[in-house]
């Protein structure tokens, strides 16, 4: 139970920063849709952030996982110097892999803007490239904090960053924008007009993010202590050999998650949604997609704690059973989130202030389930990381990425952004099944498969069935959906009564 407590404690701590950060960041959804009421105005943001996600996997080269693996092998006080050298090598590789392509992107920003069909937005391309480089460079220092169990410092850095980011975003796109447009405080209009330029518009979201992330170098200065640039092929080669398949895996995984935003505008027929352009459709889909962020919160919170936790216990004979039990409760928590959000979309959807954005709410339950499956895949993929068989991870995610790309091309012209959601769901399902099957062949773990199928199946039936009953009156629909949600919680409590009873006893002590 002590190992469970350790993992739960770390997950809760990392989750605190992640949930707080994402919750505050999530508050930007109504703010952004207030500031930019035309969905097409946020189109380039959705698209460029998708490209940032794709390129981030290339810039970091899978070296976070390599750092965890090699640092775990150099355990103990006597190996402290070796861990510093591992940090130096991984950070040096990321520096080289980040700075050189960033210089090229900035130098050819006008050409990149034309290539992405956003002419005149080379300023946004430059800010995105710098943002990407900073994110990549601080990735290993953040990993170092996790390896050294400095979760509080990790949390503090993340929370400070998001507060600065949100504060600047509100300052630029609400305060300065409103004053410039003459909505209030006319005495400050000259100053606000100097700061806010209409031609930049939604680009201030990038600028706020860039300034906040640039301050990471100040916030994380302690995590860079002892760093010396080291790039000798003989010493970095083992890291790259291990991390390259991880990079391919990460890249394929990111492509799998972001292909919809990269292809929707290109393959959506004009006039598919009456009264909306393809730019509008991308803006609507991108903002509705943010409503599935709560599932990503649970996955990311767990991931931050699980990486160093399971790598440090790679040789423990009880680790397979521990992983199986952890995965079971991970599924239960994620299913509860899926049910809670999907049943209450009528309320959650109010965060999208403009009713036009709410036309895409139908994708949210599908995206939540897809992210749930992605979280399960992440859990059961530890077998190939712990056994150094990372080539299987590459195979699985490449297959998933191919499925996603093909299905998006096929389904978008027929189903619009709903086709994007279904493509992602089918891909994550295929990846999860493949990973489980290969894992049972090479590194068996006694997963609670029946339990997972029961909870996902019953939750899906409840969400599907509730969708047939439309209640426009919120005073009636909210209590009704809350009752359904509590009913489902009751079912979980009954099925898991032994574990719940044990947990209650421990709380009373």
Weakest-pLDDT range from 4-8, 211-215, 357-361: 4-8
CA distance 397 to 392: 9
pLDDT value of residue 167: 87
Q: To which residue do tokens 């150094």 refer? A: 388
Alpha carbon 193 to its chain centroid, in Å, reads: 35
Q: Are 332 and 455 in contact (CB under 8 A)?
A: yes
3-state secondary structure 389-416: CHHHHHHHHHHHHHHHHHHHHHHHHHHC
Is the pLDDT confidence value at 439 over 60?
yes
Q: Which residue has the higher pLDDT, 296 or 278?
A: 278
CA distance 90 to 435: 28
N residues, the chain: 509
pLDDT tens for residues 167-210?
888 888 888 888 888 888 888 888 888 888 888 877 888 888 89
Close Cβ partners of 189 (under 8 Å, ≥ 6 residues apart): 179, 180, 182
Mean pLDDT for 297-305 is 66
Tell me what the mean pLDDT of segment 88-97 comes to.
Answer: 88
Give the tokens for residue 333.
Answer: 């928590």
User: Which residue shows structure tokens 């949930």?
Assistant: 19
pLDDT tens string 365-388: 999 999 899 888 888 887 776 666
Which tokens is 382 given?
Answer: 């530890």
Q: Which of these ranges, 60-69, 78-87, 276-285, has the smallest mean pLDDT?
A: 78-87
Looking at residue 290, the DSSP 8-state letter turns out to be G
Measured CA to CA, the distance from residue 452 to residue 358 in angstroms comes to 31
How far apart are the C-alpha atoms of 417 and 115, rounded to whole Å?
Answer: 23
Give the Cα separation of 217 and 17 in Å (integer): 19
Q: Residue 314: which pLDDT band, with cuts at 50, 70 and 90?
A: low
Q: How confident is the model at residue 462 (pLDDT cuts 50, 70, 90)?
A: very high
Please tell me the distance from the alpha carbon of residue 95 to that of residue 92, in angstroms, as a whole number: 5
Share of the chain above pLDDT 70, in %: 81
* Backbone dihedral region for residue 445 (phi beyond 0: left; psi -120 to 50: alpha; all else: beta): beta
For the residues 31-52, what does the mean pLDDT come to? Answer: 71
pLDDT of residue 48: 80
User: Would you say 412 and 333 are in contact if contact means Cβ atoms under 8 Å apart?
Assistant: no
Query: Per-residue pLDDT averaged across 307-323, rounded?
Result: 64
CB 417 within 8 A of CB 362: no
Report the distance separating Cα 433 and Cα 396, nearest Å: 10
Alpha carbon distances (Å) from 371 to 301, 338, 344, 351, 353: 14, 10, 18, 21, 25
- Which pLDDT tens digit goes with each residue over 418-430? 999 999 999 999 9
Buried b (16+ CB within 10 A) or exposed e, 302-338: bbbbbbbbbbbbeeeeebbebbbbbbbebbbbbbbbb
Q: Residue 312's pLDDT is what? A: 58
CA 342 to chain centre: 19
- What's the rounded Cα separation, in Å, for the pair 351 and 291? 9
The predicted-structure confidence for 198-246, as pLDDT tens digits, reads as follows 888 778 888 888 999 999 999 888 888 778 888 878 778 888 887 887 7
- Reported confidence tier of residue 477, pLDDT bands at 50, 70, 90: confident
Q: What is the pLDDT averaged over residues 126-145?
A: 89
Reduced 3-state DSSP string for 34-96: HHCCCHHHHHHHHHHHHHHHHHHHHHHCCHHHHHHHHHHHCCCHHHHHHHHHHHHHHHHHHHH
Q: What is the pLDDT of residue 11?
A: 52
Q: What's residue 412's pLDDT?
A: 92
Mention every residue, 6+ apart, whose C-beta is less than 8 A from residue 152. 13
What mean pLDDT do residues 125-153 have? 86
Tokens of residue 222, six digits? 């302690």
Which of 214, 213, 300, 253 has its CA nearest to residue 23?
Answer: 300
Distance CA(180)–CA(335), nearest Å, equals 46
Higher-pLDDT residue of 294 and 337 is 337
**In contact, 47 and 116? CB cutoff 8 Å:** yes
CA distances, 330 to each of 132, 366, 376, 509 (Å): 31, 19, 8, 25
Give whichever of 36-45, 248-257, 306-315, 414-423 has the largest mean pLDDT. 414-423
Q: Is residue 409 pLDDT above 90, yes or no? A: yes
Q: For 146-175, how does the pLDDT look when each residue is reduced to its tens digit (9 = 90+)?
A: 777 777 788 788 888 888 888 888 888 888
Give the per-residue pLDDT at 407.
Answer: 94
> Measuring CA to CA, how many Å separate 31 from each of 34, 208, 346, 354, 463?
5, 14, 19, 11, 29
Q: Token pair for residue 46?
A: 């959705």
Q: Which two tokens stand for residue 198?
A: 């209409």
What is the DSSP track for 437-450?
HHHHHHS-----HH
Of the candidates 330, 338, 301, which has an alpha carbon nearest to the alpha carbon of residue 459?
Answer: 338
Tens of pLDDT, residue by residue over 443-452, are 788 888 899 9
On the CB side of 40, how many CA atoms lie within 13 Å of its CA?
Answer: 8
Check whether 37 has a pLDDT greater than 70.
no
Q: Tell me: the pLDDT tens digits for 316-332?
A: 666 677 778 888 888 99
Contact criterion met (CB below 8 Å) for 254 and 54: yes
What residues contact 480, with CB distance under 8 A and at least 6 apart?
A: 469, 471
Q: What is the pLDDT of residue 1?
A: 44
Percent of the chain, pLDDT > 90?
15
Does the structure show a pLDDT above 70 at 60? yes
Question: What pLDDT is stored for residue 7 in this prediction?
Answer: 52
pTM (global) more than 0.85? no
The whole-chain average pLDDT of the chain stands at: 80
- At residue 79, the pLDDT reads 62
Flag whether pLDDT at 124 surpasses 60: yes
pLDDT for res 461: 93
Q: Which two tokens stand for residue 391?
A: 């080539």
Higher pLDDT, 30 or 498: 498
């Amino acid at each position: 139970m002590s190992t469970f407590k350790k993992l739960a404690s770390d997950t809760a701590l990392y989750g605190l920063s992640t949930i707080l950060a994402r919750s505050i960041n999530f508050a930007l959804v109504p703010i952004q849709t207030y500031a930019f009421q035309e969905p097409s105005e946020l189109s380039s943001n959705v698209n460029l952030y998708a490209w940032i996600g794709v390129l981030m996997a290339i810039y970091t080269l899978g070296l976070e996982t390599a750092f965890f693996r090699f640092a775990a092998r150099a355990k103990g006080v006597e190996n402290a110097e070796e861990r510093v050298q591992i940090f130096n090598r991984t950070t040096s590789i990321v520096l080289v892999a980040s700075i050189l392509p960033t210089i090229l992107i900035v130098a050819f920003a006008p050409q990149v803007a034309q290539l992405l069909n956003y002419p005149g937005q080379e300023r946004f391309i430059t800010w995105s490239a710098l943002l990407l480089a900073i994110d990549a460079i601080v990735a290993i220092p953040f990993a170092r904090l996790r390896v050294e169990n400095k979760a509080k410092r990790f949390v503090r850095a993340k929370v400070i960053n998001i507060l600065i980011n949100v504060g600047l975003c509100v300052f630029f796109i609400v305060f300065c924008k409103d004053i410039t447009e003459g909505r209030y405080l006319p005495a400050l209009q000259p100053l606000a007009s100097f700061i806010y330029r209409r031609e930049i518009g939604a680009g201030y979201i990038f600028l706020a993010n860039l300034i906040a992330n640039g301050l990471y170098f100040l916030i994380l200065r302690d995590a860079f202590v002892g760093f010396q640039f080291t790039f000798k092929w003989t010493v970095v080669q083992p890291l790259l050999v291990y991390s390259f398949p991880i990079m391919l895996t990460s890249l394929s995984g990111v492509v799998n998650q972001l292909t919809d935003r990269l292809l929707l505008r290109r393959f959506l027929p004009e006039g598919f949604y009456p009264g909306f352009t393809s730019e509008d459709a991308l803006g609507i889909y991108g903002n509705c997609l943010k409503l599935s962020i709560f599932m990503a919160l649970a996955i990311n919170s767990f991931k931050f704690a699980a990486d160093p936790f399971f790598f440090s216990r790679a040789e423990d004979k009880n680790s397979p059973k521990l992983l199986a039990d952890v995965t079971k409760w991970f599924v239960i928590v994620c299913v509860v989130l899926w049910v809670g959000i999907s049943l209450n979309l009528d309320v959650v959807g109010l965060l999208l202030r403009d009713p036009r954005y709410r036309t895409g709410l139908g994708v949210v339950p599908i995206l939540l389930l897809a992210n749930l499956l992605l979280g399960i895949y992440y859990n059961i993929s530890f077998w190939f990381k712990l056994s150094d068989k990372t080539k299987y991870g590459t195979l699985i995610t490449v297959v998933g990425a191919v499925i996603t790309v093909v299905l998006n091309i096929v389904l978008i012209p027929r189903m619009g952004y709903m086709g994007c959601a279904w493509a992602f769901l089918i891909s994550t399902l295929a990846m999860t099944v493949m990973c489980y099957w290969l894992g049972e062949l090479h590194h068996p773990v006694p997963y609670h498969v029946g339990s997972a199928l029961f909870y996902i199946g019953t939750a899906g039936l409840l969400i599907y069935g509730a969708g047939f009953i439309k209640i426009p009156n919120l005073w009636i629909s909210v209590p009704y959906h809350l009752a359904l949600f509590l009913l489902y919680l009751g079912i979980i409590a009954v099925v898991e009564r032994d574990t719940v009873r044990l947990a209650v006893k421990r709380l009373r002590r």
